[in-house]
Amino acid sequence: MSASPSNRVDGLRVDILTPDQVDKAAAIFHRDGFVCVSGLLTPEQLAFAQKGAQRVIEEQTAADPERKGNRGHHRYSYGAQHHNPEWAMLLDLPGLFPIIEKIWGSSGFITTGAGGDYSLPTAEIQPLHADMGDFFNDPTGQVKFNDVPAPFIVTNFMMVDFTRENGAIRFIPCTQRSRYPVPSLADEPQWMRDSILCAPAGTAVIRDVRCWHGGTANNSKIVRPMTSVGFFAPWYRVAGYAEAIPRALYEKLSPRAKAAWGGGIK
């Protein structure tokens, strides 16, 4: 991947686009399995999301004094959080919908909910992985889930500046369609260890969840959080995947976001 001097980031070299670069964003996504975009959140929205992310971190870690985590020690998934307004906001970002529509060539996708993850100081490196497995289970082995366009897209939002020190995520470009097995930590080549995506707070990473990725060690003194919103392709569904959203939050969504919501309302 190339990068211009104005938007080069440390580690993995990427272009950080703006929301109006819809065609380029879709092209990079299809090539690399992910694309970075800035400006999907306004400064006010970013500050709102950061406060919510911190509040839930405090709630979850208070319930886990030994810091066992739910993704390894000192490493956590937020779980479904769209019942909170800071995450419900992510279901209705005007700049994001056109990019998702361009990627799939359709407005028939659905929003699956919002969550994310975070790592605390001393969290160790996470093995590379994909966020979904083969759903075809073809007994002949002729068709794999890697053979089709992206079934599931997640957009992650960096809540702090991601750096090599605080546990930024490493992404391995062009692996979303790979049939090769994901290497273990012991077998992971150095160039993959160095494919760390460091970028400013507020940067969005729109990614095919099949693309290999993994957290790195958090050697800093701060928490490294990122929030997320997910989308299923027009042709892909998982029954019961999305949890219900409170009606008060649903009613605040735009007509476009309401049409895309794939979960229930409570």
The model's pLDDT over 212-235, given as tens digits with 9 standing for 90+, comes to 999 999 999 999 999 999 999 999
For residues 150-174, give the mean pLDDT. Answer: 98
HSE-CB at 109 with a 13 A cutoff on CA atoms is 27
Question: 18 and 39 in contact (C-beta within 8 Å)?
Answer: yes
For residues 161-181, give the mean pLDDT. Answer: 97
Token pair listed for 141: 């082995």
Token pair listed for 88: 């419900």
Class of domain 29-260: mainly beta
Q: What is the pLDDT of residue 10?
A: 60
pLDDT over 90 at 1, yes or no: no
Strand order in the sheet with 16-17: 16-17, 34-37, 204-208, 152-158, 224-232, 110-119, 75-77
Q: What is the pLDDT of residue 2?
A: 37
* Residue located via tokens 């009606």: 247
Compute the distance between CA of residue 126 and CA of residue 123 in angstroms, rounded to an integer.
9
Compute the distance between CA of residue 99 and CA of residue 128 in angstroms, rounded to an integer.
26
Closest residue by Cα to residue 15 from 29, 31, 23, 4: 4
Residue 130, Cβ neighbours under 10 Å: how many? 20
Q: Residue 263, by phi and psi: left (phi above 0), alpha (psi -120 to 50) or beta?
A: beta
Question: 252 and 88 in contact (C-beta within 8 Å)?
Answer: yes
pTM of the full predicted structure? 0.95
Give the residue extent of every domain in the chain. 29-260
Compute the distance between CA of residue 49 and CA of residue 159 in angstroms, rounded to an integer.
8
Closest residue by Cα to residue 229 from 139, 140, 97, 130: 97
pLDDT over 70 at 4, yes or no: no
Average model confidence (pLDDT) across the chain: 95
List, for residues 231-257, the tens digit of each pLDDT value: 999 999 998 899 999 999 999 999 999
**Helix/strand/coil (H/E/C) assignment for every residue in the chain:** CCCCCCCCCCECCCCEECCCCHHHHHHHHHHHCEEEECCCCCHHHHHHHHHHHHHHHHHHHHCCCCCCCCCCCCEEECCCCCCCHHHHHHHHCCCHHHHHHHHHCCCCCEEEEEEEEEECCCCCCCCCECCCCCCCCCCCCCCCHHHCCCCEEEEEEECCCCCCCECCEEECCCCCCCCCCCCCCCCCCHHHHCCEECCCCCCEEEEECCCCEEECCECCCCCEEEEEEEEECCCCCCCCCCCCECHHHHCCCCHHHHHHECCCEC
